[in-house]
Amino acid sequence: MSKRKSHTPGRRLSLVVMLFFALAFLLLGARKNDFMGYILALAVPAMIFVGTWVLPHLFPTDRLLMSLTNFLCALGVLLLYDTNPAYALQQVISYGVGLFAMILCIYFVRAMHTGRRIIWLIFVGSLALLSLPLLLGREINGAKNWITIGSFSLQPSELVKLSLVLSLAFFLSQRRMLPWVVFSVACLGLLLLQKDLGTALLYYGTTLLLFWAATGNLPFSLLGVAGGVGAAWYGYQSFAHVRLRVSIWLDPWADYENAGYQLVQGLNAIASGGLWGVGLGLGSPTSIPVYESDFIFAVLCEQFGLVFAACVLLIYVALIWRGATIAMSARRRFHGLLAMGATLLLGLQAFVILGGVLKLIPLTGVTLPFISYGGSSLVSSLCLVGFIQGVESLNEADLEEDTRLAMLERGNPA
């Protein structure tokens, strides 16, 4: 009874979310006179329905987390449909693939009790995958972190995020330091060779914080922080593009026609939206370079305003809170670290790009989880939620087992 009661808010929330997106896509479809808008008005709420109503019938999951995740994914599709319908179509396909991958991840976490053999397979496979762009990748803006197979492109570092969290959780729960250090250093080295600094920063932050959470070893953790600061200082002194990035952050107006143009456009768009936004489908979001991925939050602010954007940020806060609560409720050390690692990665990624767009920290090129355009990013983010949900389903199973044992004891007091 209490279980059903606790699920009701999530169900109501998802109903409101489905209605919101159906109306929004209908509005945009009518405005653009585009049939695709009407299809999305059906497809996106249907996917939210699958994510928040059908999935929890397969295994116990956290409905609030599911509703919030689906809201963010659908919001991304909506913003992309407004700015570039072709991107929206690809994103909605990735959303479907991501939901399927999330189910697989939930099953994977439920099935993986010891996982000694598979973790070594993941270990070797991930390093091989991460080194592929150096051999076969194409260079875009100095970074070489994409591989293309036929018409299909993939960013391996997005997928390796999953194995990073899995491997760290496994080795740290077993208190085996050597494989953990080797894996982390190898991943960071490969990312730096690819010059994928944003992802390297995420990997580093997640590794360090998860190490501290697992061991509580403050001196080594502080040593890691000092190492990171030292590396950042060395990078600033040695590489011109790092200095440029910092100077843009400090004063984008100084070179707004060139280097600072992107950030200035983003800030203009955010300021243009004001508190309540210019309205869905209005404004000029496409004037921001890379509006579809890195600067999608500026598009959101322009169209919906700062108040709505603040609510979206609070959704990320709620996601972190739910993820951490699930991690803290886990009975096994591995599952707790896995859920916390996934939460950490999502939270840090959100902060790195939001802080960059809002000029709080220097801008680095990562996507905003669930909202930004990008198949690899969306699928990997949904897989991370799948890990958290997998741990939640195990927590629920443990609770049910406890209840059953308590009932048995009560029935047989002797």
Q: How far apart are CA 61 and CA 221, in angstroms?
A: 33
Interactions with other proteins, residue window 37-96 (CB under 8 A) = 87, 90, 94
- Measured CA distances, 293 to 12, 289, 314, 375 (Å): 30, 10, 20, 11
* Interface region with other proteins, contact rule CB under 8 A, candidates 6-14, 35-43, 176-184, 339-347: 339-347
Residue 262 engages other proteins in binding (rule: CB under 8 A): yes
Q: Which of 27, 132, 232, 259 binds other proteins (CB under 8 A)?
A: 259
- Helix 375-411 with 296-329: angle, nearest 10 deg: 30
381 sits near other proteins (criterion: CB under 8 A): no
Residue numbers 343-372 binding other proteins by CB under 8 A? 343-344, 347-348, 350-351, 354-355, 358-360, 363-365, 367, 372
Cα Rg of the chain, angstroms: 22
> Per CB under 8 A, does 212 bind other proteins?
yes
Rounded to whole angstroms, the Cα distance separating 22 from 87 reads: 19
In whole angstroms, give the CA distance from residue 326 to residue 388.
Answer: 7
Residue (63 or 335) nearer to other proteins, CB: 335
Scanning residues 134 to 153, which ones bind other proteins (CB under 8 A)? 140-143, 145-146, 148, 151-153
Q: How far is the CB of 215 from other proteins (least distance, A)?
A: 9
The nearer residue to other proteins, 131 or 268, going by C-beta atoms, is: 268
Report the alpha-carbon angle 290-294-366, nearest 5. Answer: 135
Pick between residue 38 and residue 261 the one whose CB is nearest to other proteins.
Answer: 261
Per the DSSP assignment, residues forming a β-bridge with 147 are: 154
Question: Is 191 one of the binding residues for other proteins (CB under 8 A)?
Answer: no
- State the Cα torsion 309-313-314-315 to the nearest 10°: 100
CA–CA separation, 94 and 292 (whole Å): 15
Q: At closest approach, how far in Å is the CB of 122 from other proteins?
A: 21
SS3 of 149, please?
Answer: strand
> How far apart are CB 118 and other proteins at their closest, in Å?
24
Name the segment binding other proteins (CB under 8 A); options: 47-55, 162-170, 289-297, 399-407. Answer: 289-297
207 binds other proteins (CB under 8 A): no
Angle at alpha carbon of residue 198, lines to 337 and 135, rounded to 5° = 100
> What distance in Å separates the CA atoms of residue 346 and residue 370, rounded to the nearest whole number?
10
DSSP calls for 165-188 = HHHHHHHHHTT-HHHHHHHHHHHH
User: Minimum distance between the CB of residue 240 and other proteins, rounded to whole angstroms?
Assistant: 10
Distance in Å, CB of 185 to other proteins, minimum: 21
Alpha carbons 84 and 373: distance in angstroms, whole number: 10
Q: How far is the CB of 28 from other proteins (least distance, A)?
A: 16
Member of 16, 42, 317, 405 binding other proteins (CB under 8 A): 317
Instruction: Based on the shown chain and the rule CB under 8 A, indicate whether residue 157 belongs to the binding site for other proteins.
Output: no
Phi, psi of 144 (to 5 degrees): -120, 75
Residue from 333, 397, 398, 399 touching other proteins (CB under 8 A): that is 333
Of residues 255 and 396, the one with the C-beta less far from other proteins? 255
Q: Is 30 in the site for other proteins (CB under 8 A)?
A: no
Asked if 286 interacts with other proteins (CB under 8 A), we say: yes
Contact by Cβ (8 Å): 100, 393: no
- φ/ψ (deg, to 5) at 34: -125, 125
- Closest to other proteins by CB, 131 or 247: 247
